[in-house]
Each structure stands twice: as C-alpha cells, then as structure tokens.
Structure 1
Amino acid sequence: MHADVRRNVIFCSLLALSQAFYIPGFSIKSYRDGETIPLFVNKVYSDYSELQYAYTELPFVCAPTGRIQTGRFTSGASLSLNLGEVLRGDRITVSDYELIMGTDEEARYLCSHTVNRDGLKRTKELIRDGYVAEWIVDNLPGATSFKTTDKSRKYYAAGFKIGEEIYGSPGSEAQYFLNNHVTLVIRYHRAPGKDGDQGKKVIVGFEVFPKSIEAGNRTEQGLPADIQNVESGLELIPRSNATGEIDDTDGATLTIPYTYSVYFREEDKLEWQNRWDMYFVAQDDSSNIHWLAIVNSLVIAGLLTAVVAVIVTRTIRGDIKVYKEGGLEEGKPKSKRARGIKSPRKSTEKNGLLEQIADIEGEADMSSDEESIEDITGWKLVHGDVFRPPPYGGLLAPLVGSGTQLVFMATGLLILSSLGVLNPSFRGGYVSVGTGLFVVAGLFSGYFSSRVYKTFGGQLWQKNVLVTATLIPGLLFTTVFILNLFVWAQASSTAIPFGTLVGLVALWLLIQLPLVYIGGWYGYIRVGAWSHPIKANAIPRQIPSQSWYTKSFQAVLAGFIPFAVIFIELMFVFKSLWLDKSGYYYVFGFLAVVSVILVVTVTEVTIVATYVQLCSENYHWWWQSFIVGGSSSIWIFGYLVWYYFTKLHITGFVSSLLFFCYGFLACVVYGLLTGTIGFLSAYAFVRRIYGYVFCPFHMLYL
C-alpha cells in the first residue's frame, strides 16, 4: 500500500513539473477607452540568416518624428534594454503609429519616404531573404495568425513579412513588392478586479496583416482611394514622381507612402494570464512527442541503471564480501598455509600488490606462517595507483571548477523557468539571469577548483584561481569579440555594442574574479584537499597494453547514450532557436525532467566506463571520466551539422560562421558541464569502492 502511494506521489509530481507554467509579467497594464497605446518597433530577422537589423535603420522605413506622446513614451525614443535583450539583437524604439483604445481607424496616413536606387536594392535583398518584422504592443509581439490543420484552433506566429517575392512566367525575373500598409487588430478582454469595474480593458492579442498598395490612385490625405479593392501592389521599381513611369537613371528614386488601419475586437474567452498560449498552440499539439522523449529517456536510463546495479551488487559487493570474510579475521590476516597459497615474500612479481603487502607485513610477527589475502585481480590490482594525481592536473582542476559554475547556472535557470519566473514575456530574461547566476557561481567555481587542485598536490593556489577565473570566460569572450567584428561589418543589430562589451569585461574582472578568489581561498586554505583511503605507491605500476576499444572509441561510444536521452527534446530546442527564430521555447517542465534523467545517465555511463577501465588495470581514470562525461557534446555538434544541411535555410558566409561558432561554443559549455558531472560521479564511485575494500586492510598495518 505504501509503495502504491509513493508511486502515485512521484507520478503526480512529474506530471505537475512537466506542465511548465509561466507568469507573463509582474503587473497587469489596463487601458481605458480613449487612452493611447504605444506601439514599439524592434527588428527584422530571417530563417535564411543569423543577422538581424534594427527596424528604424532600414532604408525603406520612415524615421519616427517625435510627434506622438504616449504617457512616458515619445515616438523616436529608444527604450533601455537589459543585457539579454542587447545580446539577442533587440533595438526597441517608440513608433509614430497611434493606437487609441476602443477607436477603430479604417485607414490612416503615416508618412511618405523616398528611397534611392541603393536603398531599393537593399530592400529587395531583405525581401528575398524572407525577413519578417517584429513590432510590440503591451509586451506582445505582433503576430501573423494561422489555424491548425483541423481548423479547430487559431494560433500565432510572431512577426510579419516586410514584402513578397513573386515570379511570373517561368524564366522571368522576380518582382518585389513592399508591404506599405498594415492592418492592426488589437484583441482585448475586460480587466480583472476593480479596473474591470471601472471599464478598463487588458490587451490579450496583437495581430498584424500586411498588404502592398500601389503609390498612385490616392486621395489628398495620402490614403488609397479604395483600400478594400487594391488593383496592384507597390513594386520596388524607381519611378518618376511626375509621371509615375519607370525611371532607369542612376539618381532615380521611389517614394513610398505608408498607411495603416486599426481595429479593436473583444476576446471573451481569452484571459490575460493565458494570452501567450496563442503563440504555443502548435507546440501544445506536440506534447505527446515530449512525453515520448521522457519515456525514451526513462527506458535508456533504466537499462543503464540495471547495468550499474549488476556491477555494484554482484561484482563489487562480492569482492568486498570476500575480503571482509576471507581476508581478515579477528584483526589479523588468515594463514596462507590454511589456504595453500604461495608466500608473497617469494613472489617474483615486480612492484606488484602482493610484494607491497609482504613488505608491509615484514615486522608483524610472521615467520613460517606468513599471511596473505585472496588472489587480487582486475580493478583491485591498481589500488596503489588509483589515486595518483593525473598529468596536467593543473588544467583539469580549473575545468572542473568552471563546470560546477555551469551546473549551478543551469540548475538555477531550469528551476526559475519551471516555476514560471522566467518566461517569454520577460524579454532577454534567460540571458540576463543566466549571466548573473554564472557570475555569482564564481564562488563555487573557485571552491571546487581549489579543492581538486590541492587534492592533486598543487601548491600555487593563487595561480589556479587566476586560471579558473579566466580560462573559460576568456575563451567565450574572445570568441564572441572576434565574431562581433564580422557582425559589425554587416551593420547588424546582432552586433554587441562597445559599451556592452566593456560592461561584460567589468562584470568579469571586477565581480566574478574576486568571487572566484574568495571561493578558492576558502576551498584551498580553510577546507583543504579531499582525503583518500589509500596512499599512492612511490613507483607507478606499469599499465598493460590496452585494447583499441579502450584507447580510441570508448568515450565516443559512451557519449551516444546521453545523446539518445536528450535527442527528441533537442529537436524542439533547435526548432525554437533556428527554425522558428522565435526563441519561444516554454515547455521547461519537460526539459527539467529530461535534464534530471540526463544527469543520472551521464553519472551511470561514467561509472560503467570507469569500472571497465580499472578492470583493464588502467588507473588513468581522472581525465577519462571527464571526457566520457562530456563526450555526448560530440554527438550534439554532429547533429547540429546535420541540422544545418537538412533543415535550415541559412545562407551567406557570416551567417554560417555565426551558426557554427556559436553552436560549437554551446557544445563546449555543455561538454564542460556534463564532463564535470561525470568526473565528480567517477571520483565518488572510486573513493567508495576502494574505501570499502582496502581502507580497513591498510588501517590494520598502519
């Protein structure tokens, strides 16, 4: 009965966790009729490029004039952005579009903008590459509405096209039409609480329907004569302002008139706290696939758990039982004569375990009744070298320290996202909070790095702290800075401003570095090294020749298992980041469950690989455990390359360079994180099994 209750509690907990909810904001903004609603323009982005551009800097866009005053916002003013928004390429500006709550506008003139031949060429390139614009109203991105395949539900896709590329007859050149008219549909709901009683409303939807309308056939106010029946669109061809005919001269221009319509429609069934659901309807339809990912992960982890259980319960515990029952009796070893074993003192084995045991027993009142334990084979033979410090331990310690820093950051982000504190409405929140967690986690980085460093026998702990604080952050910053030079050359909003780079350096050197130093001082001076149950031999044991499997392919093959655990969920992450370009991945409950299973899988894979390596009498497990733990990053990068060539439409050298470089950095960070988990798991495993078997024996002769 108790087992059933426990099982039900666990199932309900997983179910609740998987239903990742979100808090769309900390305060509800309500509007009364007649109140002006600001419309913000942000950027344009494309499936075919990794480069984004600020909307107000495009050659065909009317610059805001500052004539609209909306509360504390003045059109043309740029909003202050958080770190995450800047890094993701946002450039939010208040527009001249005037939206008055409850007031419909069938057609309203905005401005006219003259574009030269170079501007038209650039505009055609943006339309050809499929760029879409992102506008914002009440923190909701303007969306193009669609219906599900069964037409039962409507859903939103963020952004709207800036134009259309149309081909006529086969072999003819493409025609480019610019969308110079937008129909804005603001969907509202009665405000909750007292605001609703006062007649106020909240915005629950923002739809944009773009249209291309020819420049001619307009009224004196610049409005189309018949906005419902448009004969032709605005083709991007230079025309004479006087006659309207095509002008092929070098100084030819095109004057583009902009208009817009506004409609307010009540949405009774959609509450404000659920307004982001419209952007996730398509993802909700794939919830069964998310459950499939969890089941797939659980099956793989379950099989691996069974393997580890066999190793621990049948093999290792059996060896421990033999040692405890057959090797020691009443505080003294059993007589070798009673078991008919040859004296270890007469063994011809050089630097072996039996010879070491005989040396230790030399003055323990033994004559003809010299004593020994059972024959030792496999992983037990290397007990005198298993805790020998690894080569390049001064590099492994900082990597482990930085890995613990990433573990803390990733855990914090998953918890905050699953609880709904971080959500799509918190623009740039994931990057901003993640950066803050990473900096604060410098304490953990310094602490673990220094303890591992001292365990390896390191003496220059200040140097280790400096390497820990600069190695991984320095690699990330240097790579981003170099890539930023390419993006700057493209005048893209994806480029990080110089002031932001200076701020990141200050955050790194003035905050993170001192925190790493404090953690390193505490870990090295106050806490010290981890103690080992066995001291290393003075002379290293010779390692037998290893098979090709253990030499070359163990790490790569072992990494496939964790990759198989996260493969399905990884598809949704990639789709959100690169295919949809929305970044609106929100099912963090599923991701949290899969992440927990991933940690368990990495732990078990590393334990199995370490056990196999020790059974091969190879005691160089320190680096191997780190590499095996992070080896699934190799498969992820391979999947990233496959995804680029089969699923994405990215073109251009700079865009491809950004994709592969940032993808490689993400895989390095992931590998560092899982490698640290594997290292710590293997270390705990090795300490445990050798402490059980050999610690009592050595304590007897010490």
Structure 2
Amino acid sequence: MNVQCSVKHEYEGEWNEKTRLTTCDPHAKRAVTSSESPQEVEEKKEIIFTYDVEFQESDIKWASRWDTYLLMADDQIHWFSIVNSLMIVLFLSGMVAMIMLRTLYRDISKYNQLETQEEAQEETGWKLVHGDVFRPPANSDLLCVYVGTGVQFFGMILVMMIFALLGFLSPSNRGGLMTAMLLLWVFMGLFAGYSSARLYKLFKGTEWKKITLKTAFMFPATVFAIFFVLNALIWGQKSSGAVPFGTMFALVLLWFGISVPLVFVGSYFGFKKPATEDPVKTNKIPRQIPEQAWYMNPAFSILIGGILPFGAVFIELFFILTSIWLHQFYYIFGFLFIVFVILIITCAEITVVLCYFQLCSEDYLWWWRSYLTSGSSAFYLFLYAAFYFFTKLEITKAVSGVLYFGYMLIISYSFFVLTGTIGFYACFWFTRLIYSSVKID
C-alpha cells in the first residue's frame, strides 16, 4: 500500500463537509495526483491535506501477513527463558539419574541378597514400607476426580498446541483460540472419565457412577459458578464485554449435552477393564509412621516442590499475562510448546525426587502429596498474578480488580489441576517401578 500526499487544492463555493475539490476530481483536467504543485505556507492561509490509497498485490501469503504485528518482543528473551528452564531440568535430571541409577540400584541389589528375615528387618528406608505404600489414601474419591480432570486438561492443551503449531489458529480470527479450547475440553471428557474410573477401581471402589458424576460436574461447576458471578458484575456495569445469555446457554448445552455423556462413556469402559494389580501386597494393619524431620513436613515439602515448576515458566508467563490484560498478541506457540514440555519434565522430576526422600523417611502417604507437590506451583502463579496487578496494571475500579483476580483464580485453579496430575502420574510410575524390582516373600 502506497500513500501519496498532495497540497495546494482548489474548490468552488464555500467550504463544507460535502465540498468536492476540483484539483482532486479524477474527471477534472487540473487533477493533482502528487505534490506537483506545492503550496507555500503563509500566515492565515488555508491548507487542505488529502491522500490517495493505492493497493498492490502482495507475494506474501495470508498466513504470514500478521508476522510484523506478532513480533511482541525480542526472541532473545524467550530463548533466555528456555535456557533458564533447561538448566532447572538438567539439575533435576541429574538428581533423578543419581537416585535411579546409583542409590536405587544399590539398595535393590542389597535387599534382594538378604537371606534371612532378621537381616531384612534391620534394613531401613523405602523398602520397609512396601506393605503400605499402595494402601488407598484418605479421600480417594476426590483424588480420582482431580486426576481425571487433570488428564482432560492435559489432552486439551496438548492438542490445542499442536493445532496452533500447524497454523490452524490465527490471531485474525478473534475468539478462535477460546472456542478451540472449549470444544477440546468437551471432547476430552472421554479421557477424564476413563482415567478417574481406572484409578477408582485400583482403590477397590465399586460405585463408578458416583465417581463419574463428580468428575463430570465438580471442576466445571466450580469454574462456571465463578465465571457467572464475574459476568454478572460486567452485566451490572452495562458493559458490552459481558457474555450474552445465549452464549451462556450454549456453554451449558455443550457441558450437559456432550461433555457429561462422554465422561460416562469413558468411565464405563475404564471401569469395565480389569483393575491394575499392585506390585506388592498391602498389609491389613497400617504401619506406624516414625516422627519426621522438620524439612520433611508435608506443608514445607509441598511448597518447596512448587517453586521449580513455576520458575521454569514464569518468564513466558509474563508475555501471556501481557497478551491477556494489555491487549497484545501472543502467537509464539513454538516457544510456548517448548516451555510446556519443560514444565512436564520439571513437574515429574521434582515430584519423583521428593517422593523418594519421603519414602526413605518411611512415610508411605505419597498419593496426595505427589499431587500437591507439583500442584503447589499454582499458588506461586497466583502470587505472581497479584504482583503483576500492582506493578504493571493501572486498574482503579473495584469491579475491574475483582474481574482480574477472579479470572486469575480460574487460571491458577486450572494450572493446579494440570501440574498436580503430571506429578501424580510421575510418582505412580516411579513407585510401581521400584517396588516391582524388590523380591518380597
């Protein structure tokens, strides 16, 4: 597109909004198409500015025409974020390798070589709790629901990022990203029901319909209730940004009409399959847990465990918050996918390391702690959101502040479910692996 300016125009009669310039009429003989007749600027003289727009065909593909507007920041910042996260991953990978290849291998070999029961009783550490490590936890129903919801989130984000990397989501299509997330969430209900039912059957549960209803309604109902209250506040302000009633009804219809039935279908097939067998038998009488050191306190270890996953993503989180609240484009899905992979690895490794230390302290209550360890990164995400609110945003109205913290609460809650599920499955695989390697009579 070329813009050509011209001056020193003429017109007939008095000037008004409908006046046509005789020097800009394409049918006039004296038409001025460029600054061929420059006008000297004099005091109290009238100056008229016009412009013509000439469109030319471009060789740039439509999918690449937004690239100029999508360059939000220097790529070096994102590469710095990834390098920073990779350092965390390498550190944790070294610790996991040391535990798996050296400590565990030595412990398992030594324990399997013990010949008498008296020698085995003199052993200490994670091997002594083999009869209790797979004992179902307290509130096992709730854990099954959260794990199933986390699988649903994981599937939604993974497929959405693949679509974004392939170029199916364009910033020119406003709302396309949110629409894709909602549809993927609805269809991933199949995997949510399957995962929760499989874990529920592992815990010797029998009422699969009850756990299915909780999986289908608990998390969506909580998020929808918060969203409805926030939307009611926008309605009260008579803002055009409020979600119309018809859209709200469509969301409920997707929830009840597609998501809930898919959760039931997944739960039916998940509960129909034979239960996963534990590597070792569980004792009838629970073993007494010895007094733990201060650094193995559940609250302390859980809060410590959430720092590294948050540290792996917080730089990229700044750009995501900027795109949401400062109306900038975020379309660097390649970087985002790399950060997402790093987040998965970090959550898995930090949870495995802390779970191993917990079992070595003869504390076998790892089910919930494995979920909360990596899930606690959502707590730091919400704290960072509060820091961002007071340092980067200039929001003075109370309603706007409530909207910000309400939506960030939903995002943090979703992040908790996602990261908690990653940590849980990492520990689930880890414990089954190490205890299946120990010979127990």
Per the TM superposition, whether the score is higher than 0.5 is: yes
Which whole-Å deviations, capped at 9, do the CAs of 1:40-94 have from their partners, x for residues lacking one?
A: xxxxxxxxxxxxxxxxxxxxxxxxxxxxxxxxxxxxxxxxxxxxxxxxxxxxxxx
C-alpha deviations, 1:394-415, integer Å up to 9, x for none?
Answer: 1110110000000000001111
- Whole-angstrom CA distance in 1 between matches of 2:278 and 2:411: 35
Q: Does 1:476 align with 2:223?
A: yes
Q: Is residue 275 from structure 1 mapped to residue 72 from structure 2 by the alignment?
A: no
Q: Does 1:697 align with 2:440?
A: yes
1:555 deviates by: 1.1
Select 1:219's aligned residue among 16, 37, 49. 16
Q: 1:105 to 1:622 in 2, by over 3 A?
A: same
1:491-527 CA distances to partner (integer Å, 9 max, x unpaired)? 11221111111111111011111100000010012x1
> 1:640 is matched with which residue?
385
Indicate whether 1:433 and 2:180 are aligned. yes
Alignment map for 1:146-295 (pairs within 5 Å): 219=16, 221=18, 263-266=52-55, 271-273=60-62, 274-283=64-73, 286-295=74-83
- 1:602 correspondence with 2:399: no
What secondary structure is seen at the aligned counterpart in 1 of 2:303? helix
- 1:360-385, Cα deviation, whole Å (9 max, x unpaired): xxxxxxxxxxxx54732111111110
Q: Could you tell me how far 1:578 is from its partner in structure 2? A: 1.5
Contact 1:401 1:449 in 2 (8 A): yes
1:459 aligns with 2:206: yes
Which amino acid in 2 is paired with 1:308?
V
Q: Percent identity?
A: 43
Query: Are 1:296 and 2:84 an aligned pair?
Result: yes
Given that 2:150 and 2:192 are in contact with CA atoms closer than 8 Å, whether structure 1 keeps it comes out as yes
2:94 is the alignment partner of 1:309: no
The offset of 1:550, in angstroms, is 2.3
Inter-partner Cα distance in structure 1 for 2:17 and 2:88: 71
| Deviating 4+ runs (over 4 angstroms) | 101-106, 266-270
Paired with 1:287 and 1:416, the residues of 2 have a C-alpha distance of 22
Q: Which of 1 and 2 has greater Rg?
A: 1
Distance in 2, matches of 1:669 and 1:317, equals: 37
Match of 2:274 among 517, 520, 528: 528
Cα drift, residue 439 of structure 1: 0.6
Q: Distance in 1 between matches of 2:50 and 2:316?
A: 41
Letter in 1 for 2:93: T
* 1:220–1:559 distance in 2 versus 1, CA, 3 Å: closer
Is the contact made by 1:409 and 1:434 (CA closer than 8 Å) also made in structure 2? yes
Alignment TM-score, normalising by the size of structure 2: 0.87
Aligned to 1:51: none
Match of 1:271, SS? coil
**Alignment of 1:545 onto 2:291:** yes
Q: Secondary structure at the match of 1:697?
A: coil
Partner of 2:189: 442
Displacement after TM superposition at 1:616 (Å): 1.3
Report the counterpart of residue 34 of structure 2 in structure 1: none
Q: Indicate which of 381, 385, 410 corresponds to 1:665.
A: 410
Change (3 A) 1:267 1:548: farther
Letter aligned with residue 553 of structure 1: F
Counterpart Cα distance in 1 of 2:270 and 2:77: 44
- Partners of 1:295 and 1:263 lie apart in 2 by 49
CA spacing shift, 1:644–1:375, aligned 2, 3 Å: same
Distance 1:678 1:266, change over 3 A: same
Kindly provide the amino acid, as one letter, of the partner of residue 591 in structure 1.
L
Q: Name 1:623's counterpart in structure 2.
A: 368
Matches within 5 A, 1:59-98: none
More strand by share: 1
CA distance in 1, matches of 2:82, 2:59: 30
Report the alpha carbon displacement of residue 573 of structure 1 after superposing the two structures with TM: 1.1
**Contact residue 93 and residue 349 of structure 2 kept, 8 A:** yes
Distance 2:259 2:19 in 1: 57
* Separation in structure 2 between the aligned mates of residue 267 and residue 585 of structure 1, nearest angstrom: 28
CA gap of 1:373–1:613, structure 2 versus 1, over 3 A, is closer
Matched, 1:686 2:413: no
Q: Secondary structure at the match of 1:264?
A: strand
Equivalent residue, structure 2, for 1:76:
none
Corresponding residue for 1:192? none
Change (3 A) 1:321 1:518: same
> In the TM superposition, what are the counterparts of 1:381-460 in structure 2 within 5 Å?
381-460=128-207
Cα shift readout 1:135-154 (whole Å, capped 9, x = no counterpart): xxxxxxxxxxxxxxxxxxxx
Cα offset for 1:271? 2.0
Q: Determine the C-alpha separation between the residues in 1 that align with 2:150 and 2:270.
A: 16
Mind listing any 5+ residue stretches in structure 2 that lack a counterpart?
7-13, 22-38, 44-48
Distance 1:543 1:223 in 2: 92
Q: Distance in 2 between matches of 1:289 and 1:647?
A: 18
Partner of 2:28: none
Shift of residue 570, structure 1, vs aligned partner: 1.2
Q: Flag the 1:422–1:697 CA change in 2: closer, same or farther, 3 A.
A: same
Find the aligned partners of 1:634 and 1:223 in 2 and give their Cα distance.
Answer: 64
Does the residue aligned with 1:494 lie in a helix, a strand or coil? coil
**Cα distance change on mapping 1:262 and 1:413 into 2, 3 Å:** farther
Judged with a 3 Å threshold, the aligned counterparts in structure 2 of structure 1 residues 220 and 614 are, in CA distance, closer, same or farther, namely closer
* Partners of 1:300 and 1:484 in 2: CA distance: 39
Please tell me whether the aligned partners of residues 3 and 54 of structure 2 are also in contact (alpha carbons under 8 angstroms): no
Say which structure is richer in helix. Answer: 2
8 Å CA contact retained: 1:296, 1:565: yes
| Superimposed CA distance per residue, residues 332-368 of structure 1 (whole angstroms, 9 cap, x where no aligned partner) | xx3x4xxxxxx74xxxxxxxxxxxxxxxxxxxxxxxx
* Cα distance in 2 between the residues matched to 1:503 and 1:603: 37
Please say if residues 2 and 55 of structure 2, whose CA atoms lie closer than 8 Å, have aligned partners that are also in contact: no
Q: What amino acid is the match of 1:277?
A: D
Deviation at residue 697 of structure 1 after TM alignment: 2.5
Q: 1:309 to 1:397 in 2, by over 3 A?
A: same
Aligned twin of 1:134? none
Q: How many Å separate the matches in 1 of 2:57 and 2:190?
A: 50
Q: Secondary structure at the match of 2:66?
A: helix
Task: Please say if residues 397 and 452 of structure 1, whose CA atoms lie closer than 8 Å, have aligned partners that are also in contact.
Answer: yes
What SS does structure 1 have at the residue aligned with 2:339?
Answer: helix
Q: TM-score, normalised by structure 1?
A: 0.56
RMSD: 2.6
- Count of residues in Structure 1 that have an aligned counterpart in Structure 2: 409
- Distance in 1 (alpha carbons) for counterparts of 2:148 and 2:334: 28
Aligned residue among 540, 557, 576 for 2:323: 576
Specify every segment of 5 or more residues in structure 1 that has no aligned partner in the other structure, as ranges: 1-100, 107-216, 232-259, 328-333, 337-342, 345-371
Q: In 2, distance between residues paired with 1:450 and 1:262? A: 67
Give the letter aligned to residue 280 of structure 1.
Answer: L
CA distance 1:414–1:218, shift in 2 (3 Å): same
With over 3 angstroms needed to count, the CA separation of the structure-2 counterparts of 1:585 and 1:103, relative to structure 1, is: closer
3-state SS of paired residue (1:376) = coil
